Amino acid sequence: MAQSLFISLKEKYPDCKIDVLAPAWSLSIIKRMPEVNAGIKDDTRHGEPGLSKRFTQGRQLRSAGYTHAIVIPRSWKSALVPFFAGISVRTGYKGEQRYGLLNDIRVLDKTRLVQTVQRYVALGEKSSFSAVPETPYPVLRIDAANRNSVTASLGLSADKNIICMMPGAEYGPAKQWPIEYYTSLAEKLTQAGRQVWVLGSPKEKTLGDAISQKNADIKNLCGRTNLVDVVDLLSCAEQVVTNDSGLMHIAAAVGVKINAIYGSSTPDYTPPLIAPELKRVFHLGLSCSPCFKRTCPLGHTNCLNNIEVERLYADMVE
């Protein structure tokens, strides 16, 4: 979602150079963003205060001569590196007593900036902006050579139309459509002449095993690829079926048709960032949702359980 901010900055300031300080795991994705000059590894671990590490990294970045820093996270520690780097304009939202660390502090108006991506893009606007800024759709580069290499190494072919499934959601089970539903849908799709590739991290391997069930037209690729491999594999797909997850946003940035399933979250906040004609959103909007909980506080998870397999299948093969 941050790529929408980068695109917006490049549209307004074509000659600007954008470097991104980010966790190590995300740098390979950042390299696929045409707007980004360089990705810089954040030397701290998630949740680590790392005051001395942030001081050292900030001092090392002083010589780069940055004029502006946009701090997307709202934590106190995330504002330290730009401060230590001596960057003259440091923009971010008010939060965690960051006065001094930031000198261009914005008040987040959640009634105007409903979507998360709108909040990111607004940080690239002047503080006096009036209209809600447009949010460009992210677009990741595809590496055709890597795609050919990965498909060959995994024994994949495009002899049948490909449906990619992403059954995981790091946040928790309240964002995961039941695995038996994915399994049933995969079986129906293969019977209709498609093949299915299940994508995810090693944590999702058991989910992929449950879906594939020794069906030759269903390939469990969970844990067998890295993140940029997934980008290139998604470019082979006719459609994807996905929970509201990071891989959903990556699929949107690849430009593949998306069938997105929402449970405890809502597409009002984090929709797939892709043209309307390329997405179908399955969201029941129950009175108890969105609760944004990791597990259902009522114990039934009806926001997901009541989204029927037949509904997705009918839309996908119409």
Note whether 166 and 245 are within 8 A (CB). Answer: yes
pLDDT of residue 49 exceeding 90, the answer is no
pLDDT of residue 96 exceeding 90, the answer is no
Tokens of 242: 């996905």
Q: What is the pLDDT of residue 127?
A: 87
Q: What is the pLDDT of residue 214?
A: 85
State the pTM of this model: 0.92
In which band, very low, low, confident or very high, does the pLDDT at 198 lie, cut at 50, 70 and 90?
A: very high
Q: What is the pLDDT of residue 104?
A: 97
pLDDT of residue 97 exceeding 90, the answer is no
pLDDT of residue 265 exceeding 90, the answer is yes
What Rg value do the Cα atoms of the chain yield, rounded?
21
Whole-Å CA distances, 243 to 27, 176, 229, 235: 23, 6, 19, 18
Give mean pLDDT, residues 149-170: 96
Please give the DSSP secondary-structure letter assigned to residue 102: B
Q: What is the pLDDT of residue 156?
A: 97
Q: What is the pLDDT of residue 45?
A: 85
Give mean pLDDT, residues 185-198: 98
pLDDT of residue 190 exceeding 90, the answer is yes
Least confident of 80-84, 169-173, 262-266, 276-280: 169-173
**Which residues lie below 8 Å from residue 311, measured CB to CB, with a gap of 6+?**
282
Distance separating alpha carbons of residues 70 and 8, to the nearest angstrom: 13
In which band, very low, low, confident or very high, does the pLDDT at 130 lie, cut at 50, 70 and 90?
A: confident
Distance separating alpha carbons of residues 135 and 8, to the nearest angstrom: 7
Amino acid 266 reads: T
Digit-coded pLDDT (tens) for 206-241: 999 999 988 999 999 999 999 999 999 999 999 999
Q: Write down all domains in the chain, each with its CATH number in brackets.
A: 2-122 (3.40.50.2000), 144-317 (3.40.50.2000)
Q: What is the pLDDT of residue 167?
A: 97
**305 class by beta-carbon count within 10 Å (0-12 exposed, 13-18 middle, 19+ buried):** middle
In which band, very low, low, confident or very high, does the pLDDT at 4 lie, cut at 50, 70 and 90?
A: very high
Note whether 141 and 34 are within 8 A (CB). Answer: yes
Look-up of token digits 């795609």: 147
Nearest C-alpha neighbor of 149 from the set 94, 229, 261: 229
